[in-house]
Amino acid sequence: MALADGVQRIGRPLRRWARVQEREYTNGQPRPLAGDLGAMGVYLGVVSAAAAAVRASGRRLPDRIPGGDGALLTVAAFRLARGIAKDPVASPLRAPFTRFEGASGHAGVAEEVREHGGVKHAVGELVTCPFCLAQWVGTGFVFGYVSAPRATRLAALTMTMVAGSDVLQFAYDAIQNGALTPAGEDAADDTPVPDPPGRRGAGR
C-alpha cells in the first residue's frame, strides 16, 4: 500500500506536467498526443521483440546491403505503404478509423479520420499517411531481409513490379491523352505571319 501511495505521489506531478504540455501544444485542437505516444511505444516494442528474435536465432547481421537490394526494398516500401494508405482494396483495414470522402487521383481514395482525439485518431492518421506507414513497412522489410532474405526479396520484387506498372500506366494514359503531340500541332493557323521589324520591304 505504501509503495502504491509513493508511486501516485511521484506520478501526480508528472501527469500534471503532461496535461500542461498537451494543452499548450494542441492550442485547443483535438490532437491525439496520448495515442501518438502509444503508437511510438508499440513501434519500439515490436522493433525490440524482432531484434531479440533475430539475436536468439543466431543470425548474423549483414556487413553491407548491396545497392540493388537497397533500391528494391526502398521502392517496395514506398509502394506497399502507399497501397495500405490509399488503395481502395485496403479500405477495410482503414474503415474502423476513417470515413470515405471520395476519389483521389488515379485509383485512390480520400478519407477523413473518423474520431478526433484519442487512440483511434492516432491510428486513423497513421493508416491514411503513406509517409508515416513507410517507417513501419520499411522496418518490416529490414527485419524480413535479415531473417529470410530470399523470401523478402521476392515480396519486395512484387511490390516493386507493382510500382513500375503504376508508372507505365500513368505514362500510357498520358500518351493516350496526347502528351507526345507537339504543342500547337492541333491548332494550325493559316493567318499570314507579318515580317519582323527591319525586314519589311526587303528584296523589293
3-state secondary structure the chain: CHHHHHHHHHHHHHHHHHHHHHHHHHCCCCCCHHHHHHHHHHHHHHHHHHHHHHHHHCCCCCCCCCHHHHHHHHHHHHHHHHHHHHCHHHHHHHCCCEEEEEECCCCCEEEEECCCCCHHHHHHHHHCCHHHHHHHHHHHHHHHHHHCHHHHHHHHHHHHHHHHHHHHHHHHHHHHCCCCCCCCHHHCCCCCCCCCCCCCCCCC
Please state whether the predicted TM-score (pTM) of the whole model is above 0.85. no
Residue by residue, pLDDT tens for the chain (204 residues) are: 566 666 677 778 888 888 888 888 888 888 889 899 999 999 999 999 999 999 999 998 889 999 999 999 999 999 999 999 999 999 999 999 999 998 887 778 999 998 888 899 999 999 999 999 999 999 999 999 999 999 999 999 999 999 999 999 999 988 988 877 776 655 444 455 555 555 444 444
Domain ranges of the chain: 29-176
